[in-house]
Amino acid sequence: NLFVIGDETFCGGHFTVPKDRALTESMSSEIKAQFAALSEDAISQIRTFPSLFASENHGFGKTDDAHQACFGIVTDVKIQDNGIKIHFRPLWAIPQQKLNEIAFNIALQRASAFNELNRTHWAIKKVNLIEELKAAGISVLAPT
């Protein structure tokens, strides 16, 4: 899971993703077909995926050293009139600029240099996130 939000914060254990940006872009058609309807089975699977929670970059394709994203898990997903409410548990803070630096490796950047950390949305990626973070020197299973 990749969650990028703009105006909201990750306080209080939940946030809302606009429906038109939830599982609608930057995903393979196969994954979109499997998860976009947010069936009970899909939500159960989503809750097992490692997740990145980020806010939009402060600059195009980059951000400042103090900007933090986090690695964590989704604990629940609720469909509401005003968007998709995501309940989550953060586990480890990650400097967001490090994610910008490895964006291609974690499927957040295409060859066209579009960086998904620049835009509010929720996408599911087919990538071994823990392995790619570890290869970049970012441990999310133990303090680094």
Q: List pLDDT tens digits, range 51-108.
A: 999 999 998 888 999 999 999 999 999 999 999 999 999 999 999 999 999 999 999 9
3-state secondary structure of 56: coil
Question: How many Å apart are CA 75 and CA 48, to the nearest integer?
Answer: 9
108 within 8 A of 2, measured Cβ to Cβ: yes
**Amino acid letter, 143:** P
**If you search the block for the tokens 């940006």, which residue do you land on?**
21
- Could you tell me the pLDDT band of residue 109, with boundaries at 50, 70 and 90? confident
**What global pTM score does this model have?**
0.91
Question: Residue 10: is its pLDDT beyond 90?
Answer: no
Q: What sections of 36-128 are H helices per DSSP?
A: 40-46, 96-101
Note every long-range contact of 137-144, with CB atoms under 8 Å and residues 24 or more positions apart, other chains counting.
138/94, 138/98, 139/92, 140/50, 140/71, 140/91, 140/92, 140/94
Residue type, 44: S
